[in-house]
Amino acid sequence: MTIRYSKDTICVRSGTIIDAATGGVRSPLFPSTSNSYLDTAEDYYPRHGNLPNQRSLAVKLSHLEQGEDALLVGSGMSAIALSLAAHLKRGDHLVAQHPLYSGALKFITKHLKPLGVAFTLASSPSPADFERAIRPNTKAFYLESPTNPLLSIVDIRALVSLARKHGILTFFDNTLATPINQNPLLLGVDIVIHSATKFLGGHGDLSGGAIIGARHLVERSKGLVHDVGGYLDPNTCHLLERSLLTLSIRIERINANAQRLALFLNDHPNISRVHYPGLPCHPAHHIARSQMVGFGGVVSFELAAAIDPKHFQKRLRLITPANSLGEVVTTLNSPTLASSSYASLSKEQKLGSGINDSLVRMSVGIESFDDLRDDLDAALGNK
């Protein structure tokens, strides 16, 4: 299915429910959990995902990712867990990219084994290393690009073609790119996953996740969620639908700010390294260019040895040190400091994930570039 309209138009138009009572141009909210059943064939109920706000949001997200159907659940991690659980069974094997988002890594390494599903972490994102990891019972590749927090890039076309050759299903976390910058389904990926808690929600006030793809594939996860629960409730769907109205203009500004900040940091004497796929010095910049329209809002950088990560964050006046990402305001954190996503991993796991104590993950917002640059410059000190 190809959607004719541009993303800007899809953001504001797709899926909108016309209010029959008033002709209102915004989707009304239908929160009712009890619904009349006598003269209707359908059993309307939040856990069945068939309430109007659940459906209208699924339409908008399917259109944005060029998929046939979408399933909205309570968080990005539920989207990851429910999509894998719906497609993998005892005796199957999964090859996962490594490093990848810490929550996904934790789910794969901790929860698949008890379900009887084996896994291999590919030793690099290269197709050759994925190929080496394939076994006769390999059913799925689990992919993410750019990765959180190191912005590593995989060659989507190459991995999809390898997967297809072996009849392997591809799962792809598109959270950091957003559907504005990258559409993995158009490159042959089978199932796209999002944490809507991040850029899709974009205002730091909701939790959600999405599974998007061909109808028959999404249907498997739907069947599971119908029975175990976890559909996003209509109130949150309505809030997320409103957030998506401005997704394309938010991401346009975020892309531009992030690119300029990455260039600024790359030239800064107190920064030893910048991880951003939009920089020509990123090792997979050419691949990123071939599959992304813009490079997204997450810029990670390593502080020079003389700069203490905590002091640097305390000297910021505008940018907020905070644990999550994807908001209209610029936030940043040190993945290894207490309470952030990597703090609970062992030292070996951190090193294996390429994370060190000088690493800072910044999620760029829509403030003015000049204000963000000046804040970073002052907190870093000029030398």
Ligand X SMILES: *Cc1c(COP(=O)(O)O)cnc(C)c1O
Q: Which residues are catalytic?
A: 47, 101, 173, 198
Q: Which of 92, 173, 241, 302 binds ligand X (CB under 6 A)?
A: 173
| Distance (Å, whole) CA 302 – CA 356 | 8
Binding range to ligand X, per CB under 6 A, among 60-68, 69-77, 180-188, 306-314: 69-77
CB of 144 to ligand X, least distance (A): 6
Exactly one of 27, 148, 330, 333 binds ligand X (CB under 6 A); which one? 148
| Residue 327 binds to ligand X (criterion: CB under 6 A) | no
171 bridge partner residues: 142, 191
Task: With contacts defined by CB under 6 A, name the span among 44-52, 108-116, 172-180, 299-307 that binds ligand X.
Answer: 172-180
Q: Least distance from C-beta 74 to ligand X, angstroms?
A: 8
Choosing from 181, 197, 221, 248, the residue that interacts with ligand X (CB under 6 A) is: 197
Q: Report the residue closest to ligand X, judged by CB.
A: 76
Contact segment (CB under 6 A) with ligand X among 6-14, 173-181, 226-234, 284-292 equals: 173-181
Q: Which is nearer to ligand X, 78 or 358 (CB)?
A: 78
Q: Which listed range, 32-40, 88-96, 190-198, 268-276, lies at the site for ligand X (CB under 6 A)?
A: 190-198
76 sits near ligand X (criterion: CB under 6 A):
yes
Given 53, 175, 255, 331, the residue binding ligand X (CB under 6 A): 175
Q: Which is nearer to ligand X, 192 or 380 (CB)?
A: 192
Region of 53-61, 73-81, 179-187, 218-226 interacting with ligand X (CB under 6 A): 73-81
Shortest Cβ distance from residue 213 to ligand X (Å)? 16
Decide if residue 209 touches ligand X (CB under 6 A).
Answer: yes
Q: How far is the CB of 210 from ligand X (least distance, A)?
A: 10
SS (H, E, C) the chain: CCCCCCHHHHHHHCCCCCCCCCCCCCCCCCCCCCCCCCCCCCCCCHHHCCCHHHHHHHHHHHHHHCCCEEEEECCHHHHHHHHHHHHCCCCCEEEECCCCCHHHHHHHHHHCHHHCCEEEECCCCCHHHHHHHCCCCEEEEEEECCCCCCCCCCCHHHHHHHHHHCCCEEEEECCCCHHHHCCHHHHCCCEEEEECCCCCCCCCCCCCEEEEECHHHHHHHHHHHHHHCCECCHHHHHHHHHHHCCHHHHHHHHHHHHHHHHHHHHCCCCEEEEECCCCCCCCCHHHHHHHCCCCCCEEEEEECCCCCHHHHHHHCCCCEECCCCCCCCCEEECCCCCCCCCCCCCHHHHHHCCCCCCEEEEECCCCCHHHHHHHHHHHHCCC
- Binding track, positions 342-361, relative to ligand X; x by CB under 6 A: --------------------
Residues 85-114 that bind ligand X (CB under 6 A): 101, 103
Angle at 170 between CA 169 and CA 172, to 5 degrees: 155
Size of the site for ligand X (CB under 6 A): 15
Name which of 75 and 170 has its Cβ closer to ligand X.
75
Q: In the bound complex, what is the minimum distance in angstroms from residue 176's beta carbon to ligand X?
A: 6
Cβ burial of 262 (10 Å; 0-12, 13-18, 19+) is buried
Distance CA 282, CA 262 (A): 11
CB of 2 to ligand X, least distance (A): 27
Q: Rule CB under 6 A: which residues touch ligand X? A: 75-77, 101, 103, 144, 148, 173, 175-176, 195, 197-198, 207, 209
